[in-house]
Amino acid sequence: MKKSLLLLAVIAMAAIVRASDLVVEEYGLPPSYSSIQSAINAASAGDRIFIKNKAGNLPWLENITITQSLDLLAFTDDSFFIMQGTVTISPTSFSTIDIIGMINLTNGISTGTNPTGDPTILRILNGQLASDISVGNNNYNLTVHGTVTNGISYRHGVVVGNTVGADGISVSSEGWNAVDTGYIFGNIINANLGIQWASTSSYFDIRNNFVNMPGGGSYCISVSNTVANSAVLNKVYNNTVAVYGNAQNEYGIYVSGAANSQIDVQNNVVARTYNNSYYGYYAYGIVGYAGSGGNLTVTYNYVGSSYNTTISGTLTTNLNNNTGNAISLNGNGTTQNGVGANGGNPGPMFYNTDLTVNSAGCYGGSYTLNNFFPGSPNYAMTWLTNYTFTVRTGNTINIKASSYDK
C-alpha cells in the first residue's frame, strides 16, 4: 500500500510543468535574450521574463506584443525596467498578464483583441507610463497602480493608488455578463478631465480620490450611466475635487442614475477658485438626477459657496450638506491649514485613520488618500485594501489585501 501511494506521488510530481524564468540582457548570449520581444516569443504560457536595464539605464527601443500568460518584471528587486515603444496586449483566450515596474518613456499600454473564455487578467503595477493605458476591448479585468501621464480608459477592473494626468480615468460598458463592482480608490488626478463613469455593466465605488483641475474643466467626477438594479448601492464617497474655474459650464460632481439604480453621494469636498475674468460662466457644485424608481442620496458633502448653484437636481435625499462657506485647498487636497476638511458625516465609518471625527474629502474615512501615498505625493505604496469599516471589541477584523512578490 505504501509503495502504491509513493508511486502515485511520483507520477503526480512528474506531471507538474514548472514555469520558466527568462532573462533579457543587453548583448545577451544564450540562455539570456537580447531583446524583450525575443524573450516573449520564446516563452511559454506562465513564464516570467526578468529584464535587465541597459548600461547607463538606456531604454530598450522596441515595440512589444504579448499574446499569452506572462509576467514582465525588472531583474533587480524593487526597481524598474526602462523601455521606449508601444506595448500591445493581444491574447486570443483567457490569460493572466502582469507588467510590473515598467518605465515607458514615450508610450503606454493598449489592447488589440477580445479574448475568449473568462476575462483575461491584466495587471499593470508600479509603472511609469508616458502615454496612456487604453483597454478598448471586451473581456479584460484590469488592475492599475502607478503613474500614467495621459489617462486610463477601460471597461472593467480596479484602478487604485495612481497618479494620472491629461485625460483622467474613464470607464465604459463591458461586453460580458458578469456584473460586479469597479473600484476607483485613492487616485490623484491632475487633468482637465477627471473621473468619467459611463458603464451599465458594473456597479461603482468611487472613493477618496483627489481630482485637481488647475486649468479648468467641465466635469471633475461624472456618472452618466449606471446599472439598473435596486439591490446594490453605488458609492461616491470622500472625494475632493478642486477646479480653477474657466470652463463655461463646470460640474464638481455630476450623477445621472438609471431606472432603479441606488446611488449615495456622501462626504465629498467640492471646491472652486472663481476667476472673475470669465464673466457669465456658470458653475454647479453637485448635480444629481435619480432615474425612475431609483434612489439618489446626497448627504454630508462640503460644497464651497463660490459655486453659482451648490446642490441641485432631482434628489431623493438632500440633507446635512455644508454649502454656505467658502473653502480653499492646497495642491494636495488639504485645506489651507494643512488638514482635511471638517464638516462630513460624524459616523464611525467616516472617521479618519487618526480617528478624527467629521472628516470629509479625500482625507476622510478608512481609505484616506495618505494610505496610498504615505511618503510621496507621486508614487503610491498601497494599491488595494478591502476591510470592514466597523471594529467592535471582541470581534475579528477581516482584512483582504492584494500584493505581488516575485
List the chain residues with pLDDT less than 70: 1-18, 176-178, 215-217, 245-248, 274-280, 337-338, 353-354, 375-406
Which are the contacts of 127, defined by CB distance < 8 A and separation ≥ 6? 99, 100, 101, 102, 103, 104, 146, 147, 148
Calculate what percentage of the chain has a pLDDT beyond 70. Answer: 82
Cβ pair 59, 128 in contact under 8 A: no
Cβ pair 279, 248 in contact under 8 A: no
The Cα 268–Cα 255 span in angstroms is 13
How far from 216 is each of 69, 132, 193, 251, CA to CA, in Å?
41, 21, 9, 11
Residue with cell 485637481: 212
Q: In this predicted structure, what is the pLDDT of residue 11? A: 38
The Cα 274–Cα 346 span in angstroms is 30
Q: In this predicted structure, what is the pLDDT of residue 389? A: 45
Q: In this predicted structure, what is the pLDDT of residue 391? A: 46
The Cα 326–Cα 312 span in angstroms is 18
Q: In this predicted structure, what is the pLDDT of residue 77? A: 82
Residue with cell 520558466: 20
Identify which of 237, 182, 224 has the alpha carbon closest to the alpha carbon of residue 362: 237
DSSP string, 158-185: EEES-EEEETEEEEE--SSS---EEEEE
Q: Which region, left, alpha or beta, applies to residue 372 given φ > 0 means left and ψ of -120 to 50 means alpha?
A: alpha
- β-pairing, 21-24 with 133-134? unpaired
DSSP 203: E
